[in-house]
Amino acid sequence: MVLKKAGLFPIVLAILLLWHLVTAALNVPEFMFPRPLSVAGALWEMLKNGELYRNSVSSLFRVTVGFYLAVVTAIPMGLLIGRQRCLRTILNPLVQFLRPISPLAWIPMALMWFGIGDKPAIFLIFLSSFFPLVVFTTSSVLNIRTTYLRVAENFGLKGFKVYMKVILPAALPEIITALRITLGTAWLVIVAAEMIAVKSGLGYLIIDARNSLRMDMVVAGMVVIGTVGLILDYMVRLLERMPSVEWSRMRR
Amino acid sequence: MLAVAGAIFWLVVISLLRFTLPGASHHETRLKVGFLPITCHLLLPVAMERDEFFRKHVLPVKYTSWPDMIESVKGGELDAALILAPIAISMMDQGVPVKIALLGHRNGTGLVVSSKRPINQVKEFEGKTVAIPIRYSTQNIALLSLLEKEHVDMQRVTRVELPPPDMPSALASGAIDAYIVGEPYATQARLMGVGTIFQKISSIWPGFISSILIVRKDALKKNPTQMDSFIKGLYLQGQWIENNRRLAADMGARFFGLSKRLIETVLMEKEVSYRNILPKKEEFQAIGKKMVRYGLLTKVPDIEVYLKWY
């Protein structure tokens, strides 16, 4: 860990230096692509006036609520679809059909149904995570070794208990991976979702900076989005180290 | 278990942070009014500055593109909006419950061409790309009328829809050859030195109407007196702007977040007019007929219904 951190710092510094040298050497005007120093200045400015905090909190709140809603609905649904053949026949085509539609295609409806503010953005985040999670969960249930299920049957486990004691734990490692991927897409979508009528959030920050012709702030917003994305990914990766998930790696 | 507890803890923390932010929205009783940063919507910032009623009872909501605003009106998120006249007419046609209240202003639209690659006659627009704000705009209708009048093959003029603030830079980069738009985005290209005005639309369409004020019927029913004060207050600002153009420009620039010099230039040229902004049936019918002519509408709705108030 220490070594990793020590290794990261020079790399970041080198990238910043390269960025500065290239933009300076090619004499790229600030309004086309700003220098690292002016981006740092913009970051400092946003930190001081509270914009950074305000917008990050708004975005994180929307992603959290939308993503959680998707998790608590999609995982049970995926478990059911994976287990019940008739449900699978009915719902699978619908889920498969809706999954490849970008949540951004729902923007017009989201605006009409939910107005402006948090709700449409949460709805879009929910959509971006819900369908992939259902699909991943279903397939992880289908991948469970039949031995486990037979053993459960021999022990006389039935109904709800089968789900809690066997199916969910067996599918959990793959579900955690799915959570990681979908959280990544949710964070991708939030920026686009906030470019429509909202007054806060990192997506709004970028659009607002663009409208006031502040390219340094646009790039500063991108830096913040990337950093928060990294932190989110790191947090979900911690889940993969849980003992109830680790076992799947030992199997390999 | 630990992970679930952690997840719940995070939800609580982030929700707390979110709702302690200043300006977290609660129940809103003010009139929500949609607008774009254009001089056609100047009545609103001036009223916000000068009228006590507006400060207490009106919440302006800024948009940067027409489609977002359209959806907010349709969904009932907005109680009123300053919106392009053809959009309003097509909403009436679709059965969206709105009424026409006022015009935003008159004139104030220009056809802008690049100063580097000038176009001198209407004929030369053939084979060129022209940006319009949205197809449901009087700007689009004016452009098509101009082309038709000069017998230009309309199929050979590419029209692209762009948000007005992006137009001057698109012209500068060469992505488009010309654009037609409401002020201040025509004047902006001139001040930036990237474009010249090919034609002021007021010279071919006197008293040109761009945006109008529409109000939703449900909002009107809910609080007619509030709506009444809102519309009257807005109307009265028209007269004041006419006599105090410089001050009005200053208010508009601050409210819209645009350069003061830009808005002042537009207003001091006195082409845009805030007089005579009560809606007239004939003018809307004429716009409706042109929309039918250019395939934007199948039939003109009965405008009278939308002008009748009580």
Q: What is the pTM of this model?
A: 0.74
For all residues of chain B together, what is the average pLDDT? 88
| pLDDT for A76 | 92
The per-residue pLDDT for range B225-263, each reduced to its tens digit, is 888 899 999 999 989 998 998 899 989 888 887 888 888
Percent of all residues in chain B with a pLDDT value above 70, rounded to a whole number: 97
Residues B155 and B213 reside in one and the same domain? no
Residues B37 and B184 reside in one and the same domain? no
Residues B94 and B227 reside in one and the same domain? yes
Chain A residues touching B2 at Cβ < 8 A = 242
Residue pair B277/B106 in contact (Cβ under 8 Å)? The answer is yes
Chain B residues touching A68 at Cβ < 8 A = 7, 11
B137 within some domain:
yes
Residues B146 and B97 reside in one and the same domain? no
| Domain endpoint, select from B160, B180, B203 | B203
Using 50, 70 and 90 to split pLDDT, how confident is the model at A242?
A: confident
B169 within some domain:
yes
| Domain endpoint, select from B203, B225, B255 | B203
Residues B213 and B86 reside in one and the same domain? yes
B243 within some domain:
yes
Kindly compute the dihedral angle of the four CA atoms of residues B137, B141, B146, B149, in this order, to the nearest 10 degrees. Answer: 180
Answer yes or no: do B77 and A115 touch at CB < 8 A. yes
Most distant CA pair in chain B: distance in Å? 75
Inform me whether the pLDDT recorded for B196 exceeds 80.
yes
Using 50, 70 and 90 to split pLDDT, how confident is the model at A72?
A: very high
B128 within some domain:
yes
B164 within some domain:
yes
Residues B213 and B302 reside in one and the same domain? yes
Cis peptide before B224 (omega within 30 of 0): no
B279 within some domain:
yes
Whether chain A has a CB inside 8 Å of the CB on B9: the answer is: no
Instruction: Select from A116, A211, A242 the Cβ nearest to the Cβ of B165.
Output: A211
Residues B77 and B199 reside in one and the same domain? no
Alpha carbon distances (Å) from A213 to A29, A218, B17, B113: 13, 9, 30, 22
All domains of chain A, ordered by start, with CATH?
A: 34-251 (1.10.3720.10)
Using 50, 70 and 90 to split pLDDT, how confident is the model at B26?
A: low
CA dihedral sign, ordered A147, A151, A157, A162: negative
Residue pair B124/B154 in contact (Cβ under 8 Å)? The answer is no
Structural domain count of chain B: 2
Residues B142 and B268 reside in one and the same domain? no
Using 50, 70 and 90 to split pLDDT, how confident is the model at A136?
A: very high
Least Cα separation, residue A251 to chain B (angstroms): 22
B1 within some domain:
no
| pLDDT for A227 | 92
Predicted complex ipTM exceeds 0.85 = no
Residues B285 and B234 reside in one and the same domain? yes
Answer yes or no: do B15 and A58 touch at CB < 8 A. no
Which residue segment(s) compose the domain that B232 sits in?
31-106+209-307
B3 within some domain:
no
| Domain endpoint, select from B151, B177, B203 | B203
Residues B257 and B179 reside in one and the same domain? no
CATH code of the domain covering residue B271: 3.40.190.10
The per-residue pLDDT for range B268-290, each reduced to its tens digit, is 888 888 888 888 888 889 999 99
What backbone torsions phi and psi does residue B103 show, to the nearest 5 degrees?
A: -100, 155
